[in-house]
A and B are shown apart, each in its own frame.
Chain A
Amino acid sequence: MTTQKLVVIGNGMAPGRALERLLEKAPDTYEITIFNAEPRVNYDRIMLSPVLSGEKSYKDILIHDDAWYAEHGLTLKKGCKATSIDREKKQVTGADGSVVDYDKLLIATGSSPFIIPIPGKDLDGVLTYRDLDDVEAMLEAAKSGGSAVVIGGGLLGLEAAAGLKERGMDVTVLHLMPTLMERQLDTAAGYLLERAIEARGIKVRTGANTHEIIGEDRVEGVRLDDGTELPADIVVMAVGIRPNGDLARDAGLEVNRGIVVDDAMQTSDPDILAVGECVEHRGTAYGLVAPLYEMAAVVADRLQDGSATYTGSVTSTRLKVTGIDLFSAGDFAEGKDREEIVLRDAANGVYKRLVIQEDKLIGIVLYGDTKDGAWFFQLMREGASIEEMRETLIFGQNYAGGSPLDPTAAVAALPDDAEICGCNGVCKSKIVGAITEHGLTSLDEVRARTKASASCGSCTGLVEQLMAFTLGDGFVPDAVQPMCGCTDLSHDDVRRLIVAKELKSIPAAMQELEWRTSCGCAKCRPALNFYLVADWPGEYEDDYQSRYINERVHANIQKDGTYSVVPRMWGGMTSSQELRAIADVVDKFGIPSVKVTGGQRIDLLGVPKENLPAVWADLNAAGMVSGHAYAKGLRTVKTCVGTDWCRFGTQDSTGLGVKIEKMMWGSWTPHKVKMAVSGCPRNCAEATCKDIGVICVDSGYELHVGGAAGMHIKGTEVMCSVETEAEALEYCAAVVQLYREQGRYLERIYKWMDRVGLDAIREQVVEDEAKRTALFEKFLYSQRFAQKDPWAERVAGKDAHEFAPMNRIAMREAAE
């Protein structure tokens, strides 16, 4: 067979899918060239919102990386727009002047955001929400905070608003119509959505018509028709999309709203096909991914001389704003011959509405509880009669038969062509087929092979049920180590969900994450408390009763129930005045042991609990504060004498140690953090076995991480070298903040480093300046709330009950 030439214009998700299918079946049919106006490979555009909100990174949403193009021998012309098509000569010309011949041409030019033609639309700071460049522009703007106005309260507008809010901007959504997402939602669901959006601190103005965008060189605000002016540092236009048909029109192809194609996805030229958002099929242009993938499958088949046809799609919508569950499909306008079934559960924020015509489901709106969306959607697409199950229909699939079914029975009952993954258009038979054909046993394998649940992930449960159904006992769900017996979730999942669902108290976390116990246990409660302290500084109120005794009474419990007290000595420096005060305290309270610790501090051992406040009062009076020797937090910064005294010292190691300790004291971390600063490579402060160590050298500071000298002995690894003391401080704080965000409770830094890898830490702290700055700032922000001397607070009377018995029953009364 002779190799034909295929040229593809556009490198979005639709042509990407078409090529993938084509290469799977017939890898050698074509020599393929792709014109890609964006300077990137193919990525998952529907996942831009999680990138904007920070839940995912660009890497996470790549569909095809460079290696994929290379492996399949595709020529990808990145950043090269196709400028013209010559149908006579069968050639495409690119912006770089290159001319490529084709036998078959696939046009996939996608769509452009619709820009409302109002004054000010071209100002700097007016953005759209379409590709990664837009997201990057928004992230850049969000860095300095300020206000954003989003024009358009549809799917994209709301996702953009939620993302910008997440990034710390003050956000207002303007929507022309009286309720949000009016094309997908009825007014009741629109109202619930508006309330949920407002509950996130996003302002919503419905019925708002934008008159002009104001500003000199850049956006300063938005003026509405009613004269209201809203200040804005950026304006995002998300009012809709328009198919890109210009290139096709210029080439003389038939173009209405979009490029006109028939059921074979063929344009008015038999050698030219079109796919994706740029096409118009039977009068409809689609902007959702599922129909585009259906088209792509037909294109792939036609390119192999197949006879598949595309007959249009019934689409469903899901909003990808974490914490808001919303599903809609079909037609839900009211009508004479239509009936509806409605379920409202205000307390749980659930609203479901099914629209029925002649015993068939024709419209679905689900808000708050969308798990039956796929099943309803399937009933609707099939046009199945719901007559028999009308009474229980609204309660969903589990109850449709009258009694609840077990989950695998529910997936077993689905027909083979039931769509499981809406994002990637994967149906049941494809998943089952892949599992049996390739012997897949893990969710990751199924994701890799079929793409099911690989995008938004909302169908993960269904896919797992399908695996359980197909593999029977052979299915072992991904082995995650649950946090404790109270939950099946891992530390990482709990952590992610605390942020994603904005859980801000232990009861909220236990309720939302379906804890099995009413009150947790001694493993999960301290962990949850730490995650909440670390994730919501200034908002979360520490749960005292979920802290281990040492952190509750700010001293270390000893084997006999007495406590040890360690005052802070910044960088290990002390003075005669401090030593005298310590000696006086020892005498006054008859403290039995005084010991110097490995971290250069003085430990007073054997203090009865009721004496603690009085001991602290005397130490406070001499200017000493808690040394946090008991904390899952910064313990000590050990130093050598550096340039102050040492003839080898290269930098002021003592001074830096003191500065680090003053910056970091009081911070809570997943486990204890011990640091050291040595003034030269002789390393007298033993910095290379600490969680974080600094070695001063002539040229600056070598920063080490991941050492340990407890149960495990482990030397540090060098993270990087920096030149100035200010940098050393910033990098150290950034590493600690990253550890605070990623470390599992009771996981030391070295274990965290083993798990995520030094490279990943370097990438975020050393190479990515913006990330480092953000980490540093977050650390400093949370320190504003953490740096209160716990001893002084308790000397002043806080938690007084902790240090006194409830009652004493004297000898005579209690004699037995």
Chain B
Amino acid sequence: MNEMSIPDTQHWFTIGRLSDIPRRGARQVLLPRGPIAVFRTQTDEVYAIDDKCPHKGGPLSQGIVHDGAVTCPLHNWVIDLQTGDAMGADQGCVRTYEVRKDADGLVSVSLSGGSGKAE
């Protein structure tokens, strides 16, 4: 898989406002199959990934956000928010989701696109 699907309104969900997420922080969005973590960087880029570290399942939304990466609170794996890949010597990948911000500051996430590398 991993084909680029054209964003389909059916799969885009408005999850809240940019201002709901602290800079250099994250919030959880709960899904039936498990939470995803939505990150806002220092420079207001927004990323969404599964809230589950590929190492031992740690909640990445609770980690420290630095530049475009998050450090998992359980064992300090560092995950690249854009690609979902573990950085440094660690091997692993988290599923990422496409995110868009509109002019009013609303943030939406697509639950169909993004990388499916982890699953």
A-B complex is real: yes
Interface residues of A (CB under 8 A from B): 517-522, 525-526, 544-550, 552-553, 557, 559, 561, 801, 805-811, 813-816
The 8 Å CB contact of A806, one of B20, B57, B76, B112, is: B20
- Asked whether B31 is an interface residue with its Cβ less than 8 Å from the other chain, the reply is yes
- Is B73's CB under 8 angstroms from A521's CB? no
Of B22, B29, B63, which contacts A808 at CB under 8 A? B29
Assess the A520–B66 pair: CB atoms within 8 A: yes
Please, how many angstroms separate the alpha-carbon atoms of A522 and B78 in the complex?
9
Q: Which chain A positions have C-beta within 8 A of B24?
A: 519, 545-546
Seed contacts A519-B42, A521-B66, A522-B78; 19 additional CB < 8 Å A-B pairs: A517-B67, A518-B42, A519-B66, A521-B64, A522-B66, A522-B76, A548-B64, A557-B74, A561-B59, A801-B27, A805-B29, A806-B28, A807-B13, A809-B13, A809-B31, A810-B32, A813-B13, A814-B32, A816-B111
- Measured between beta carbons, the chain A residues less than 8 angstroms from B67 are 517-519, 521
Decide yes or no whether B16 CB sits under 8 A from chain A.
yes
- Among the interface residues A552, A553, A807, A810, which one has the most CB atoms of the partner chain B within 10 A? A807
**Distance of A518 Cα from B67 Cα, bound (Å):** 7
Residue of B nearest to A486 (CB): B66
Given contacts A545-B22, A805-B35, A806-B38, contact A561 B58 (CB under 8 A): yes
B30/A809 in contact, CB under 8 A: yes
Are B74 and A522 neighbours in the complex by a CB distance under 8 Å? Answer: no
Q: List 9 A-B contacts (CB under 8 A).
A: A520-B66, A521-B64, A522-B71, A545-B24, A546-B64, A549-B62, A550-B73, A559-B56, A805-B28
Determine how close the nearest CB of chain B comes to the CB of A483; give it in whole angstroms: 14
Separation in Å of the B96 CB from the closest CB of chain A?
16
Q: Indicate with 1 or 0, residue by residue over B3-23, a CB within 8 angstroms of chain A CB atoms.
A: 000000000010110001111
Closest chain-B Cβ to A564's Cβ sits at a distance in Å of 14
Q: Is the CB of A549 within 8 A of B29?
A: no
Select B66's contact among A517, A549, A559, beta carbons within 8 Å.
A517
Kindly state the separation between the CA atoms of A548 and B64 in the bound complex, as whole angstroms.
7
- Chain B residues within 8 Å of A561, by CB: 57-59, 62
A806 and B27 form a contact (CB under 8 A): yes
Q: Which residue of B lies closest to A560 (CB)?
A: B57
- Report the separation of the CA atoms of residues A521 and B25 in the bound assembly, to the nearest whole angstrom: 13
B74 surroundings in chain A (CB, below 8 A): 557, 559
Q: Is the CB of A807 within 8 A of B73?
A: no
A806 to B33, CA, bound (A): 16
* Interface residues in B, total, Cβ within 8 A: 38
- The closest CB in chain A to the CB of B37 belongs to A806
Give the chain A neighbours of B94 by CB distance below 8 A: none
For the complex, give the distance between the alpha carbons of A548 and B22 in Å. Answer: 15
In the assembled complex, B99 has its CB within 8 A of some CB on chain A: no
Least Cβ–Cβ distance between B86 and chain A, in angstroms: 14
Q: Which residues of B contact A548 (CB under 8 A)?
A: 64, 73
Chain A residues near B78 (CB, 8 Å)? 521-522
Chain A residues with CB below 8 A from B65, complex form? 519, 545
Contact A545 B32 (CB under 8 A): no
A503–B38 CA distance with the chains assembled, in angstroms: 32
The 4 nearest A-B residue pairs measured at CB:
A522-B71, A806-B27, A545-B24, A549-B62
Which residues does chain A contribute within 8 Å of B38, judged by CB atoms?
A: 806
Q: How far is the CA of A226 from the CA of B107 in the complex (A)?
A: 65
Give chain B residues whose Cβ lies under 8 Å from the Cβ of A544: 22
| Residues from chain B with Cβ under 8 Å of A520 in the complex | 66
- Measured between beta carbons, the chain A residues less than 8 angstroms from B35 are 805
B31 cross-chain contacts in A, Cβ below 8 A: 809, 814
CB distance from A657 to the nearest CB of B (A): 32
* Contact A519:B41 (CB < 8 A) given known A548-B73, A805-B29: yes
Q: Are B63 and A549 in contact (CB under 8 A)?
A: yes
CA distance A811 to B13 in the complex (A): 13
State in angstroms the CA–CA spacing of A546 and B21 once bound together: 15
Residue of A nearest to B73 (CB): A549
Is A808 in contact with B64, judged by CB distance below 8 angstroms? no
B22 touches A801 (CB 8 A): yes
A544 to B23, CA, bound (A): 10
Q: Given the complex of chains A and B, what is the CA–CA distance between A814 and B74 in angstroms?
A: 28
Q: Contact between A806 and B58 (Cβ–Cβ < 8 Å)?
A: no
For A520, A806, A809, the residue with the greatest tally of chain B CB atoms inside 10 Å of its CB is: A806
**Which of B31, B35, B59, B63: most chain A Cβ within 10 A?**
B31
Q: In the complex, what distance in Å separates the CA atom of A808 from the CA atom of B35?
A: 9
Closest residue of chain B to A812, judged by CB? B32
- Point out the residues of chain A lying under 8 angstroms from B59, CB to CB: 557, 561
Q: How long is the Cα–Cα vector from A809 to B112 in the complex, in angstroms?
A: 14
A522-B29 in contact (CB<8A): no
Complex Cα gap A806–B112 (Å): 20
Residue of B nearest to A485 (CB): B88
Q: How far is the CB of A121 from chain B (nearest CB, A)?
A: 57
Bound-state CA distance A806–B17 (Å) is 9
Whether A806 lies near B21 (C-beta < 8 A) is yes
Least Cβ distance of B87 to chain A in Å? Answer: 10
Q: Are A545 and B64 in contact (CB under 8 A)?
A: yes
Residue of B nearest to A550 (CB): B73
B28 CB contacts on chain A under 8 angstroms? 805-806
Contacts of B33 in A (CB 8 A): 814
* Residue from the set A518, A544, A547 with the largest chain B CB neighbour count within 10 Å: A518
Separation in Å of the B81 CB from the closest CB of chain A?
12
Q: Is there contact, CB below 8 Å, between B42 and A807?
A: no
Q: Which residue of B lies closest to A547 (CB)?
A: B64
CA distance A810 to B76 in the complex (A): 31
B64: chain A residues within 8 A (beta carbon): 521-522, 525-526, 545-549
State how many angstroms separate the Cβ of B6 from the closest Cβ of chain A: 17
Q: Chain B residues with Cβ under 8 A from A815's Cβ?
A: 32
A550 and B42 alpha carbons, distance in the complex (Å) = 21
A161 CB, min distance to chain B CBs, angstroms: 38
CA distance A734 to B73 in the complex (A): 33
Q: Are A811 and B29 in contact (CB under 8 A)?
A: no
Docked-complex contact B41 and A814, CB < 8 angstroms: no
Q: Are B15 and A811 in contact (CB under 8 A)?
A: no
A residues within 8 A CB of B66?
517, 519-522, 525
With A522-B71, A548-B73, A561-B58 known as contacts, the answer to whether A805 contacts B30 (CB < 8 A) is yes
CA distance A518 to B74 in the complex (A): 24
A807 to chain B: which residues have CB within 8 Å? 13, 15-16, 29-30
